[in-house]
Amino acid sequence: LERTFIAIKPDGVQRGLVSEILSRFERKGFKLVAIKLVVPSKEFAQKHYHDLKDRPFFNGLCDFLSSGPVLAMVWEGEGVIKYGRKLIGATDPQKSEPGTIRGDLAVVVGRNIIHGSDGPETAKAEIALWFEPRDLVSYTSNEEKWIYGVN
Ligand code: GTP
Ligand code: MG
């Protein structure tokens, strides 16, 4: 099954939105396979966002990501990379649909509370950046046959 990297940024953790966000992924039927709370260094944040290094907001973005606890996670499920982004909503919360995490819970682009990998390559790279292979827990949940309809 597909895996993606999801992180609740310092604003989401500080605002007490952790359980709200986790429950949206859980209720959908996605499976949590790794989770940890970390304060990333600025250098680490720069690695995470290296694709954006030429953007004017890059420095502020990296300062922000390293400004407090981040809840780093790996979620597993069919189509989780793309659908995870759908649960999260558009980058700018002003453009996110109601019903999405950013649409319901955030207001400005620089404080959009959550990150999700944008494709299979990034998912692989981000999981490898944030987690050791042994941190990823493989298990079967009893609900899977009800979620996927397999016997
Ligand atoms: P992530 O899931 O966090 O990667 O967001 P995204 O994939 O929806 O957007 P993108 O990767 O393009 O940008 C990464 C992050 O940079 C966003 O989540 C925002 O927090 C921030 N960001 C993007 N565009 C802007 C912008 O125009 N201004 C500011 N201040 N921040 C931005
Ligand atoms: Mg992105």
115 alpha carbon – ligand 1 mean position (Å): 8
Q: Residues 15, 49: contact at Cβ < 8 Å?
A: no
| Residues 85-102: tens digit of each pLDDT | 999 999 999 999 999 999
The closest alpha carbon to 32, from 71, 76, 87, belongs to 76
Distance 138 CA to ligand 1 centre (A): 31
The ipTM of this complex is 0.95
pLDDT over 80 (residue 4): yes
Percent of all residues in the chain with a pLDDT value above 90, rounded to a whole number: 97
Catalytically annotated residue among 115, 116, 117, 126: 115
pLDDT tens digits for range 64-73: 999 999 999 9
pTM score, whole prediction? 0.96
102 Cβ closer than 6 Å to some ligand 1 atom: no
Q: What are phi and psi of 55, to 5 degrees?
A: -85, 150
Whether the CB of 45 sits within 6 Å of ligand 1: no
Q: How confident is the model over 94-133, as pLDDT tens digits?
A: 999 999 999 999 999 999 999 999 999 999 999 999 999 9
Nearest C-alpha to atom 9 of ligand 1 is from which residue?
91
pLDDT for 2 beyond 90 = yes
Query: For residue 151, is pLDDT > 80?
Result: no
pLDDT of residue 150: 73
Return the closest-CA partner of residue 44 out of 18, 71, 24, 63.
63
Q: Give the CA radius of gyration of the chain.
A: 15
